[in-house]
Structure 1
């Protein structure tokens, strides 16, 4: 994938955000919907799919391995699957762009099929660690040749039949858990994953919905997820709820900008994903759930968020797995709270699209916010609701969440905040800036 030209953007304070916003489909669920539909025999339909670059990379990869995937004019995606065990040898390397989720989960799928796939990605993805997935998949029989440091590009030769394993997760990672479970779909016998700390459970919910024989047991050692191999998946109609990680930016923006009042529609409230909302409520945020319902097996509600004074907290570390992608947004909220917020227990932020701890410390510092960096998080001295100084240049580091988080910070700054590249936002939320312009009552730039 050729590198796109940087797209600088300036964000400045323009008053309150008001109105209604519908966030795009959940990225985690969108990936899994395409993958499992491609492994079912027959036609599945997916409504509300996130059409960002990461999910489109997953769609392209599944097409390359034999699935037929089409988008209709009304935005509904249809997938004709090849069946578990039916993936075909891709004719060329699978370009994952910036998507770590696509890469790790697809490695799991390929691991138990008799095919070989080469995975490539952009500069950011090529720095991200894949060893944590390589290790269990190798135990199942896959042969992986990776770049130095266990990174992309890498070549994975699957084994069929693969070897079912029992795997204790050394770190809390839904991606590693999901990769092993997906490999187990085409392995004879029972594959088990034991996670000492619960992580997002979209894979378990969706696998069961497609008809996989899956069980979850709570034990003293943690959650034990077992899946029976050689599964036959049934096609499904899937409605993808709104992404809480995308909703996080609007929750924080409405909370920090005086006079703001937003209704954020269709937000997924899977309990393994609501850590940001819990943390914001501890800080005093005014977040009200309306019209709670279940969509596609996932809890969903509309959220009304109004500006409220925030107070510093020590973020409970046990919230980390349920808000790992939302920490950059939380750091911005902390910059406007009264007192010093301390957020620790988030080592995983070091190995995301960027080192998000270092990136946010630098970005906030460049805009006049005092921070203290730890190996596993940040301490942030808030303004007590006053605007931050602003005027700093933000290195977004090819990271969509850094770009969007600092755009939110710029909405309550004395001077504009300058993003060196807003382009990465397209990986998860292509309409973010046009939506922002609309909520500020002005024409999109």
Structure 2
């Protein structure tokens, strides 16, 4: 499945019990960062369990363009021979980041304090997304950005010749912005400080420490303060990428909604800055348990067992939880349709500027499937009908957004009438094995 070619319509229909193990791909956030920090270290970094979706493969190509030697050894095993902090070469061609907002923003940060000039582009979806939230703080280091109206791609970044450290307060909770600033701070002298009012996913901080950077995090009255000492020599690492909680969300939610289901999703990362969905589902009354809790590579990991849960209730999702589950709201809204009562989701303005306007896209699709949805600029409410009373039968526009596509296909496993998405191709950007994995569990997905 490809999000860049001819549309691939797909249909899902009411399915029998989902049973078995769902071996979801490696964590996308950690995969991106493993490649980038491997390229910025000196020596050989070995990575196992890398997510080999299009987004991450585009980041691997970008690191090669910057001069790192990135090799695919097969079966999710990769090796990166890095060029060191400040060692990036100027790419000979435009760097195409495909559909990946995470990839392009992290890569921009990683090169912004090196005196090279790089032009970035992406697919139709990525080229609509605003980049000023990243280029504005990068300008404080001395980098310059020249893009289309509204700060959109294609965009050329001229890296700072004499970078200066910055102190930056992130205006809206965003792990991408925070990470871009920290990566830029690696090649700036002195200390770069990032302040976030609400904690966001902390993979970058954990991995920087693992690669040998001097980084300190402190919770203060003004928020979470992260201090990075610039110009370290990063040491190469051996990284085992845990499996992606954002991908795990789909088989987990499918099992909760599909009668008779019992699905185990092993080796899932449960970093507290990423696990908000699972906490929310349990509060709704989902039969979701953690087994074999452990730590791997500095990250908490567990096996998740999800069973059919016909008696879930709508809840008020705490706004402060949004940063820990921002990518999971589309599929949560699907679960909310099958719960009894209202599920209110505040503090989610970030969803307006993802691969699509996810609030608008989900609201339109859910309404077409017979669900009442209220929405505002930074909130939405789904009026659940309870299990067995969700009509379905809609054809949904996905707007080149992989999570919209997967969410509505999950919905179709439990609706009275099938659900159709206009293009399942973008699913390949993050979860290339989604269709065969769900089919093996017992789900019914068909090409149209």
* 1:215-230 equivalences in 2 (<5 Å): 215-230=216-231
1:434 and 1:444 in contact (8 A); partners too: no
Name 1:342's counterpart in structure 2: 344
| CA RMSD of superposed structures (Å) | 1.4
Superimposed CA distance per residue, residues 185-211 of structure 1 (whole angstroms, 9 cap, x where no aligned partner): 000110000011000000000000000
> By how many angstroms is 1:106 displaced?
0.8
**Partners of 1:101 and 1:415 in 2: CA distance:** 35
Q: Under a length normalisation based on structure 2, what TM-score does the superposition of the two structures give?
A: 0.97
> By how many angstroms is 1:157 displaced?
0.5
**Partners of 2:113 and 2:362 in 1: CA distance:** 39
Superimposed CA distance per residue, residues 157-191 of structure 1 (whole angstroms, 9 cap, x where no aligned partner): 00133110000111101110000100010001100
Alpha-carbon spacing, 1:355–1:2, altered in 2? closer, same or farther (3 Å): closer
Q: Under a length normalisation based on structure 1, what TM-score does the superposition of the two structures give?
A: 0.98
Name 1:394's counterpart in structure 2: 396
> By how many angstroms is 1:112 displaced?
0.5
> By how many angstroms is 1:73 displaced?
2.9
- Can you give the 5+ residue segments of structure 2 that lack an aligned partner in the other structure? none
> By how many angstroms is 1:314 displaced?
1.2
Superimposed CA distance per residue, residues 343-365 of structure 1 (whole angstroms, 9 cap, x where no aligned partner): 11100000000000000001111
Name 1:243's counterpart in structure 2: 244
Q: Secondary structure at the match of 1:362?
A: helix
Runs of 4+ that moved beyond 6 A: 441-445
Name 1:302's counterpart in structure 2: 303
Name 1:255's counterpart in structure 2: 256
- Within the candidate set 358, 361, 367, 2:360 is matched to 358
**Partners of 2:255 and 2:148 in 1: CA distance:** 43
**Partners of 1:405 and 1:442 in 2: CA distance:** 14
> By how many angstroms is 1:368 displaced?
1.2
**Partners of 2:389 and 2:301 in 1: CA distance:** 33
Name 2:387's counterpart in structure 1: 385
**Partners of 2:51 and 2:287 in 1: CA distance:** 28
Alpha-carbon spacing, 1:211–1:173, altered in 2? closer, same or farther (3 Å): same
1:387 and 1:412 in contact (8 A); partners too: no
2:52 and 2:76 in contact (8 A); partners too: no
Name 1:412's counterpart in structure 2: 414
1:371 and 1:380 in contact (8 A); partners too: yes
- Within the candidate set 352, 358, 371, 1:369 is matched to 371
**Partners of 2:167 and 2:445 in 1: CA distance:** 55
* 1:163-242 equivalences in 2 (<5 Å): 163-242=164-243
* 1:108-123 equivalences in 2 (<5 Å): 108-123=109-124
**Partners of 1:83 and 1:444 in 2: CA distance:** 47
Alpha-carbon spacing, 1:94–1:210, altered in 2? closer, same or farther (3 Å): same
**Partners of 1:313 and 1:51 in 2: CA distance:** 36
> By how many angstroms is 1:377 displaced?
2.4
**Partners of 2:384 and 2:316 in 1: CA distance:** 13
Alpha-carbon spacing, 1:140–1:151, altered in 2? closer, same or farther (3 Å): same
Q: Give the count of matched residue pairs.
A: 445
> By how many angstroms is 1:145 displaced?
0.6
1:242 and 1:266 in contact (8 A); partners too: yes
**Partners of 1:409 and 1:112 in 2: CA distance:** 45
Higher relative CO (CA 8 A, sep ≥ 6), structure 1 or 2? 2
Name 1:323's counterpart in structure 2: 325
Q: Secondary structure at the match of 1:371?
A: strand
* 1:13-24 equivalences in 2 (<5 Å): 13-24=14-25
Alpha-carbon spacing, 1:441–1:359, altered in 2? closer, same or farther (3 Å): closer
Superimposed CA distance per residue, residues 230-258 of structure 1 (whole angstroms, 9 cap, x where no aligned partner): 11000000000011001111221111111
> By how many angstroms is 1:75 displaced?
2.9
2:66 and 2:91 in contact (8 A); partners too: yes
